[in-house]
Chains A and B, each alone.
Chain A
Amino acid sequence: MQVQEVVSFLKQTPPFDDLALHVLEAVSRDLSVVYLASGEQLLPEPQLLLIRSGLFALNTEQQRLTHLQCGDFYGYQLLLTGLADPDTILCEEDGLVYFLPQESFDKLRHQYKNFDLFFQRLFSRRLHLYQSNKQQSTSTLKVADLVTRRKVSIASSNTVQQAALLMTEQRVSCLLIEQDEKLVGILTDRDLRSRVLAKSLPASTTVSEVMTKTPQSIETDRFAFEAIQQMSQYNIHHLPVEQDGKAIGVLTTTDLIRSQQEHPVYLISHIHRQHQAEGLNAITPQVHQLAMQLAEQQIPSYEVSSVLTSIMDALAQSWLQIAEQQLGPAPCVYSWLGFGSQARRDMLPSADQDNALLLEKEPSGAVADYFSALADIVCNGLASSGQALCDGHIMASNPELRLSLKGWSNRFAKWLNTPAPQALLSSSIFFDMRLIYGSKALFNVLQQDVLARCKNNELFLYHLAKNATERQPPLGFFKHFLLEQDGRQRKGLDLKKRGISLITDLVRVYALSAGIHAVNTRERLALLQQQAVLTQRQQQNLQGAFDVLAHLRWQLQAEDLKRGRHLSNLLDPSQLNLLQRHQLKDAFAVIIDEQQVLRQRFCREL
């Protein structure tokens, strides 16, 4: 017969919580229960230990590793590997420990994949990649989900009549024009009407004369809302879809209408349709509503952040268009740059503005006046749309941040060549930059220039790595407190300062050292692994830790939004469930390990 109290406890303890009740009842009968008094030491034996109550300190020879409390496990390392580790467990507050014998543990691992996975990951400190069965995440639609993989193409040397015939035969409204398997153009039935018939061109006209050359295209792994954004921005109805650099089909507005339940799609196209300030001013509640909805749908946080970033990008683009309407055409080519979380595409509802202008010409005279006015309209406009002004004045409205290519290049050179730690700390945000609007060519030149300066610049990387490892995550939890390196206790955990930023800082050092263009942390990690700068295990660990922290922060802010509270990064540890506590502990352990690796790689004596 099972003891009900024991079964109920298992029922709320991951990974047991995934098991059926009759299985838990059987498991409970295999347990034995031990009481430990403070000061007693737990001796290793081949059993799984589950803390039921009390407080236990896990120590290695030299130092305190962490505290174990209700719901924590120990002994799985011995069970999984047969090797005992040198850790000792000391009871600090009297408590009960449940022991599960090896046979039962092995049996459960055999029968339940998720149970096995939980302990494998706990052991390899990759618990953060564990997902309980119950939390199945739905994902937002991707281009790949919408596009019909049917490519109808023709060579550019064919005549428009042949093209029209093919379109009729295949019942399509547009043709892809390919040369050597590369997409070189697109021809729609509208083009045949307006560019051939209306202009009285003969049927023998070649396709190459009337097609749209080097058309916009999108990769299959992008989001549907990004396709919408691109189509509304360029006012097109057909968007070629590519996979691995080859066209595989066309996404049409009709395809997208079919997926219209998706809210980001609505909102972004709504933003792009606004040509008046009034329409954009009132957008904040809708953005927040959407953020809450996405957070509640259990969509992975990086996808939610990506959606939010796209909305913020769309807002910036719309405000820039409004500014151009008001001020007339720009006196020279320019690029609107986003920094920090907007550049990394991991924005949260609380994100403030971090933007700047890159100008083709030196900002003096009329050019200076124009862009000063433009920046004011856009920055104030964004503020009225809910994106707060930046306290640190990292905004295009700051004249220091409206520079020519040469100006920016010199600015970066100064940071790079005399990297005073303090200056670096405040400038590190600039090393994550992305083009939001304007000239891609101009932006590319600057990015190339900066990356070339960073690569192999050992002194700069030394300081950057040093800065990145200055702050550390807390060691773990202890009742409702955080356990700090110096033994202090603290009530709240700043998920940004003590978690997420530590990972983005760390990954940035590697990315800049390897000359990687990507700024999104996940993309950077993937590229770093591809280029063998990081091992696959490092990449998975860092990404998993990042995802756990980012997810918690999203939940936190979604809850704040729902309750109309001030948006905060501060997490109260007592609000965590057992799985989240395991996962957070794990994420901290990954950061501590990786900070050490980073220091070893970049901070050796020069």
Chain B
Amino acid sequence: MWNWLRKPAAVHQRVLDFEHEHSIDKQCLASKASFLVLDFETTGLDAKKHHIVSAGWVRISDCRIQLNSAVYQLVKSPASVGQSAVIHGLHNSQVQQGIELEELLSLLLQELKGSVLVSHHSALELNFLKHSCQNSFGRAPAFKAVDTLKLELYKMQLKGGPVAQNSLSLPACLARYQLPEVTEHHALSDAFGCAQLLLAQLKTRGASCTLAELFQQSR
């Protein structure tokens, strides 16, 4: 677990590799892009204090969710899951069977190369990624994400009128597009739900929508 302390240079290299190889053409059409839709379950909301307990992701390419790319990982947490177990349903004994955080990050960096990161309320995933990389590798790449929550907010604000509380939660968004509901707070189910939502959102934006527009609207 403390390997990175002994070989900081080698581990650091992974981040450098990622930064070197990961490039995204922002003028690429969204319909042609490759997305990695990610969800974390954590012990709390503060990336500085809390820990990732599970991660789920699934890939979208050519506007299709590729289910063979679906991954679900439990992550060993240095602290007790505490009260967060109420939300994600994972207990200490399960979490301790997971992989090391460093291994998860390496996996994710590998998967993310050339793909656009997508999350619902991406601030959480981005913060945890940043802090975890910083802690594990001593360096964090500059992550950028498409946020399905922000995309939804953008559309609602365009239409005008007040945005009701809770109307931006993942279940509420799925319901708005009459998409099948998913089990909440299961990292892979949420990632899958988020991926379905992105497909629907891409349709409403038309065929000419580029990644630049998505990033713009995710701010």
Contact with A along B185-216 (1 / 0, CB 8 A): 01011001101100110111000000000000
Q: Which of A1, A6, A31, A93 has the most CB of B within 10 A?
A: A1
Which interface class (under 10, 10 to 19, 20 to 34, 35 or more) fits B? 20 to 34
Q: Which among A5, A53, A54 is the interface contact of B182 at CB below 8 angstroms?
A: A5
The distance from the CB of B182 to the nearest CB of chain A, in whole angstroms, is: 5
- A33 contact from B177, B188, B199, B204, Cβ within 8 A: B199
B179, CB-defined interface residue at 8 Å: yes
B99, chain A: closest CB distance, angstroms = 13
Contacting pair A5 B183 (CB below 8 A): yes
Known: A4-B186, A5-B189. A30 touches B68 (CB 8 A): yes
Whether the pair B196, A94 counts as a contact (CB closer than 8 A) is no
Q: Please, how many angstroms separate the alpha-carbon atoms of A30 and B64 in the complex? A: 12
Interface string of B59-73 (1 = CB under 8 A from A): 000011111101110
Residues of A within 8 A of B160 (CB): none
- B161 touches A (CB below 8 Å): no
The answer for the CA separation of A6 and B195 in the assembled complex, in Å, is: 13
Contact of A1 among B70, B180, B196 (CB under 8 A): B70
B189/A94 in contact, CB under 8 A: no
User: What 1/0 mask marks residues of chain A from 1 to 40 whose CB sits below 8 Å from any chain B CB?
Assistant: 1111110010000000000000000001111111111000
Contact in complex: B192, A31 (CB < 8 Å) = no
**Shortest distance between the CB of B148 and any CB in chain A (Å):** 13
Check: A96 CB closer than 8 A to any chain B CB.
Answer: yes
Identify A3's interface contact among B177, B192, B204, CB under 8 A. B192
Decide if B199 touches A1 in the complex (CB within 8 Å).
no
Q: B58: CB under 8 A from chain A?
A: yes
Contact B72 A1 (CB under 8 A): yes
Residues of A within 8 A of B189 (CB): 3-5
- Given known A-B contacts A3-B189, A35-B200, A94 and B177 have beta carbons under 8 A apart: yes
Q: Across the A-B interface, how many residue pairs have beta carbons closer than 8 Å?
A: 72
Among A30, A93, A96, which residue has its beta carbon within 8 angstroms of that of B67? A30
Chain A residues lying within 8 Å of B64, measured Cβ to Cβ, are 32-34, 99
* Inter-chain contacts of A95 with B (CB < 8 A): 178
Q: Is the Cβ of A53 less than 8 Å from the Cβ of B179? A: yes
Partner of B192, one of A5, A52, A53, A94: A5
Please give the distance in Å from A352's CB to the nearest CB on chain B.
Answer: 46
Please determine whether A1 and B203 come into contact, CB atoms closer than 8 angstroms. no
| Residues A33 and B65 in contact in the complex (CB < 8 Å), given A2-B70, A5-B192 | yes
Q: Do the beta carbons of B183 and A4 come within 8 Å of each other?
A: yes
CB-based nearest B residue for A52: B180
> For chain A residues 327-342, which have a beta carbon within 8 Å of chain B?
none
Please name all residues of chain B whose beta carbon is closer than 8 Å to the beta carbon of A1 when the two chains form the complex.
56, 70-72, 188
**Across the interface, do A3 and B188 meet the contact criterion of CB distance under 8 Å?**
yes
Min distance, Cβ B138 to any Cβ of chain A, angstroms:
30
Q: Would you call A53 and B68 a contact (CB within 8 A)?
A: no
A93 vs B67: C-alpha distance in the bound complex, in angstroms?
24
B178 CB contacts on chain A under 8 angstroms: 53-54, 93-95
A5 engages B180 (CB within 8 Å): yes
**Pick from B58, B70, B179, B204: contact of A96, CB under 8 Å:** B179
Chain B proximity mask over A36-55: 1 for CB below 8 Å, otherwise 0: 11000000000000001110
A33 touching B182 in the complex, CB below 8 Å, given contacts A3-B58, A3-B188, A96-B196: no
A80 to chain B, nearest CB (A): 23
Rounded to whole angstroms, the CA-CA distance of A35 and B198 in the bound complex is: 10
Interface members, chain A 448-479 (any B CB < 8 Å): none
Q: A4-B189, A5-B189, A29-B67 are in contact. List 10 more A-B contacts (CB 8 A).
A: A1-B56, A1-B70, A1-B71, A1-B72, A5-B193, A6-B192, A29-B70, A34-B65, A52-B180, A96-B199
- 15 pairs across A/B with beta carbons < 8 Å? A1-B70, A2-B67, A3-B70, A5-B180, A6-B67, A29-B67, A30-B68, A34-B63, A34-B64, A35-B63, A35-B199, A37-B204, A53-B179, A94-B177, A99-B64
Write the residues of chain A forming the contact surface with B, with a CB cutoff of 8 angstroms: 1-6, 9, 28-37, 52-54, 93-96, 99
